[in-house]
Amino acid sequence: MMEETYSQQLLNDAASLTVKALSPASGSAGWSCPSNIALIKYWGKKPVQIPMNPSLSMTLDEARTFTRVDYTFDPAQTDPAFSFSFEGRQAPAFSQRIEGYLKFITPYLPLLAHTSLQIESRNTFPHSSGIASSASAMGALALCLLDIEQTITGTAHPEEFMRKASFLARLGSGSASRSLFPQFSLWGKSEGWTGSSDEFAVSFSGFHPSFGNLRDTILIVEAGAKKVSSSAGHGLMEKNPYAPVRFEQARVNLGEIRNALESGDWPLFLEIMEMEALALHAMMLTGKPGYLLMQPGTLSIIQKIRAFRKETGKRLGFTLDAGANVHLIFSGNDSDRVNAFISSELLPHCENGRAISDRMGDGPQRF
């Protein structure tokens, strides 16, 4: 017999809920959720929002989305409604995305069909800074919606809460599934990782203390909206001739980076992290059509980071997202020296000399 999927289990739970027996209610929920940066990259997916390979990320701290949802619930209401504002203004493009998202997740949160929602959201980081805003935004929204559902039904399951929130966030944006946990998160079924799943992310906590105070300084080579959306990028992987090799490489790299994180092997950690960043961009270069998101400044920064590491032996390396900006990952123990290096050598390659300093964080918070 086939094992019941988590999705099926949630649908069964939803089907057993008697909405009519619930009383009308109103209230609000507020959550902040951080963004995350992938060390092992998710690039390529199949329906519905299932990754072609597992990915591992570091949860950020400062870069967050704050979302508050005011709701009214009435079991007799059959016409769901919502409004959305971002940083106090209407945001039609994101509103449309939320509309689709709410419809998509209603089978898992059946009360949504009987609610009016007023959603207000803001980010702590500038839009188009290259920080994955869909991860923090979808994470925060999923948390608020689940919170509301559980408040109305009076069925709080604290131990299940983050898992279900991660599942719901994933349906909004794959990488969002990983933003719900402190420090490191793994999304994707992986051999040797008990409890790992393609349907939600899990926390990874067994790392060596030398990775306990990681920093991420995001060097803004190019501010501005993404030139090619992640969805389009994932789509191009379907026909990329290197894709099968890439998916296998990610699995191997996941095992290696886990060994590095558990044993405190910094050279191996940095090697795998950088290999992953370059492999992600290699997939973009070799798709049909191929595209190039790195800029001359990206390459100059990468070269300088490698030269500085060779010269000083400091624990630092780079990773990249789907854009030109560089995430400089380093140990907080070396902050003074690395920050001086950033100011003198790297900021000159950044747009208007801009960088955003962040660090590994503890995950979402209620507010």
Of residues 173 through 212, those in contact with ligand DP6 by CB under 6 A are 173-175
What is the end-to-end Cα distance of the chain in Å, rounded? Answer: 44
**In this chain, which stretch among 1-9, 152-160, 228-236, 282-290 interacts with ligand DP6, using CB under 6 A?**
228-236
Per CB under 6 A, 41 contacts ligand DP6: yes
134 binds ligand DP6 (CB under 6 A): yes
Task: Pick between residue 274 and residue 309 the one whose CB is nearest to ligand DP6.
Answer: 274
Residues 45-84 that bind ligand DP6 (CB under 6 A): 49, 55
The reply on whether position 230 binds ligand DP6 by CB under 6 A is: yes
Say how far apart CA 186 and CA 193 lie, in whole Å.
Answer: 9
Q: Is 42 in the site for ligand DP6 (CB under 6 A)?
A: yes
- Element of type H or E holding 337: helix 335-341
Distance CA 221, CA 107 (A): 42
Taking the C-alpha atoms of residue 366 and residue 144, their distance in angstroms, rounded to an integer, is 9
* CA 174/CA 48 separation, integer angstroms: 10
| Residue-level length of the chain | 367
Using the contact rule CB under 6 A, the part of the chain among 58-66, 139-147, 168-176, 293-301 near ligand DP6 is 168-176
**Strand (E) or helix (H) holding 133:** helix 133-153
Give the C-alpha separation, 178 to 308, whole Å: 31
Q: How far is the CB of 24 from ligand DP6 (least distance, A)?
A: 35
Q: Which region, judged by CB under 6 A, interacts with ligand DP6, from 112-120, 151-159, 170-178, 357-365?
A: 170-178
Residue with tokens 């950020």: 60
Q: Would you say 152 or 237 has its CB closer to ligand DP6?
A: 237
Which span (34-42, 61-69, 81-89, 106-114) binds ligand DP6, by CB under 6 A? 34-42
CB-based contacts of 270: which residues, under 8 Å, 6+ apart? Answer: 309, 315, 316, 317
Within 8 A by CB and 6+ apart from 228, the residues are 284, 291, 293, 322
- Smallest gap from residue 77 Cβ to ligand DP6 (A): 30
Nearer to ligand DP6, 146 or 186 (CB): 186
Given the complex with ligand DP6, which of 44 and 153 has the nearer CB atom? Answer: 44
Asked if 231 is part of the footprint of ligand DP6 (rule: CB under 6 A), the reply reads yes
- What span, in angstroms and rounded, lies between the C-alpha atoms of 64 and 137? 8
Sign for the CA dihedral angle at 355, 359, 364, 367 comes to negative
Which contiguous run of DSSP H or E holds residue 353? Answer: none
Decide if residue 145 touches ligand DP6 (CB under 6 A): no
Rank residues 42 and 204 by Cβ distance to ligand DP6 and give the closer one: 42
Rounded Cα distance between 6 and 36, Å, is 24
Number of residues near ligand DP6 (by CB under 6 A): 17
Q: Of 8-16, 36-44, 63-71, 354-362, which part binds ligand DP6 (CB under 6 A)?
A: 36-44
Comparing CB distances to ligand DP6, the nearer of 38 and 301 is 38
Name which of 28, 24, 51 is nearest 40 in CA terms: 51
Closest CB to ligand DP6 among 234 and 304? 234
Residues at the interface with ligand DP6 (CB under 6 A): 38, 41-43, 49, 55, 132, 134, 173-175, 230-231, 234, 280, 321-322
